[in-house]
Structure 1
Amino acid sequence: MTQTMRWFGPSDPVTLAAIRQAGATEVVTALHDIPNGSVWPREAIAGRRAMIADAGLGWSVVESLPVHDDLKRCGPGWDRYIDAYRQSLTNLAAEGITVVTYNFMPLLDWTRTDLAWPLPDGARALRFEWEAVAAYDIHILKRPGAPQDYRPALVDAAARRFAAMDDAARRELEATILAGLPGAEESFTSAQFRDAIAGYAGIDAGVLRDNLIAFLTAVCPHADDLGIRLVVHPDDPPFPIFGLPRVVSTERDVAALFDAVPNPSNGLCLCTGSFGVRADNDLPGMVRRLGERIGFLHLRSVDREGGDSAFHEAEHLRGDADMAAVVAAVHEVSRSEGRSIQMRPDHGHQMLDDLGRRTNPGYSLLGRMRGLAELRGLERGIAHAAAG
């Protein structure tokens, strides 16, 4: 595996020098200052590449080139945004980018309910739990029809949870759910989010899947010509939320996309954390069965907390992902195909000196450096055993 770390650009509190010292040879990044749907100019891409190269690192994976919501909804700007996406791909290929990550989640890139959940060892982790989601959805967002999307017992628990919260706690929950990724290109107030959700009225999972296939049908032939692999990131979390559908949550979902759009450029960013929230996703098996389509790896593990789909980020070699089996499968695929797949440790714990520093949630330095070191050692041990 080619070892990388995510970097959110010049404003990231984690510097390129720190990433290099952590042992990565590449970064994955994006031009977060460019609005969704706009063309990424070649000169801006070249400038970012030069900055990264000056730090002694490579850049071959973009994470991410956002898909405008008019493409996800098949809205009135579809033709214009498809043209802009193709042009951005052209400019990225001209600057040596070979893998472009994207997602097809409506409105929010990912959702958590706690960005600094305390762990027994004093570190902090990202966490998701449904009671907090329901409390926000029903009582703060006040989405029409929201109570019907939850079990009655959860509706009652959410009402008690909301009643026990003071104004500061309610504001914190709202900000956490709407936080999105560090460097996210879009953000919402609750009122704006409610209005945006209304824009998806009538779009169920079947329609959203059709829209994803239409997007891929339009851009993959161009990506084929450019030699770029488009890799879709799975839904996070991998189930419907806030009344919005999800269509990249299981192996079956992904296999259906490959059947519908068999172009070589139609690929997968296999995130063991996002897929791993669901116990019915066989992670090592997915690596072996989908290996030729995997262009990028996010390696992280989650602890599933019980039957209500609550989870938190685990240490990279613990939790419910069998990381040793996953990396062994990656080693088999890499050896059989004669290639090294770019990998990054994902969502590290906030720990040690980073507890007192400004950090992007999930993207502090030391937790990811620990994860990268553990994954590096695991891979080398597996390779050594296979060679022996």
Structure 2
Amino acid sequence: MPSRLDRTFAGMLDIKKIRADFPILNRKVNGHSLIYFDNAATSQKPQQVIDKIVEYYTLYNANIHRGVHALSQEATDLFEESREKVRAFFNIAHTKQVIFTSGNTHSINAVANGAHAFVKKGDEVILSAVEHHSNIVPWQMLCERVGATIKVIPVLDNGELDMATYHQLLNSKTAFVVVNHISNALGVTNPVKEIIDAAHEHGAMTLIDGAQSCGHMKIDVQALNADFYTMAGHKMCGPTGIGILYGKEEALNALPPYQGGGEMIDQVSFEKTTYAGLPHKFEAGTPNIAGGIALGAAIDYLNEIGMDDIAAYENELLIYGTEQIKTIPGAKIFGDVTDKAAVISFNVASLHPYDIGTIVDKLGVAVRTGHHCAQPVMERYQIPGTIRASFAFYNTKEEIDVMVQALQRAVNMLS
């Protein structure tokens, strides 16, 4: 197989070869070539990942960790090899700190559900105003349960967090600080290192939601020093139904398990049950074995291309896309700052984003419209939602041109 490290010229990925790995990009939608700009919702999967899922069910299908027969041992080895790939990819100190979950939302809930170990009555939990619902609701549930209070870091007009207010919010009652690394609604990259360090100075725990960062930038969890960091496999070219929870060893040991059942136990009697050690303490029941193994294949694929090259190329798409969208009369971009991911959230004049999204879909262009599971963001800007175009390393500037033409056509039809 030719390497995806080949370049058409110095420093540039061979996008033609990369696109050939993604069979869905050959699809037609409403008679037009598919242009997929909904990568913030889920990334497409290369053939190498799809093949790994088929290979597992064809050759290795068996439950893991429990059998002495060959299939079980082979499946276990492949699943644990993926855990090691995750460990290395995010610079995690030990594989026992890699918890496989069903997704990013599951990872957050696993922490929030057990966070009564860290958050007591009268304490405060700080969230940001740009959080996804899945990083708001679990913490509301926790605070209602234990009698704690939520404080919110405001968002400025440009989409950046009001860091001056954040530092004012921190106090002796702050027990947990929870923010996303990159806003799914705006694409803005938050200063998570500053947020984490300031929280720790006040003795608070931290969780960083990495759903939008894990497939688009190099992440070093030890350098960030967050107590917990969550990832979504399906947003980094892996399959759906697989996620990752990272935690510092002492934090994971202090966190009670989210679910009970097989695999997460040490000894069970009707009088008392003791739990298994990490990571199995948090992995009750049969996991998504095929998904875990295929996530390892996705990591291999991303490593072959190189995360630095992915980030650089996607930034080129971001700059170009921003310039082109601004040529549309009446276009307004929300979160138009320098430090952001390849996500452009925008509206055109007073036109409803849903109407525009419906028309461009008829022309084969897939964008996301609505509040993006971030209703507080939309309330902040007093809008019903936005059109969100989110790019990945298999997209092209030519596709952006087609999208802009489709957007202009939609605007002309609706005006």
| Same fold? TM cut 0.5 | no
TM-score, normalization: structure 2? 0.27
Higher relative contact order (CA 8 A, sep 6+): 2
Bigger Cα Rg: 2
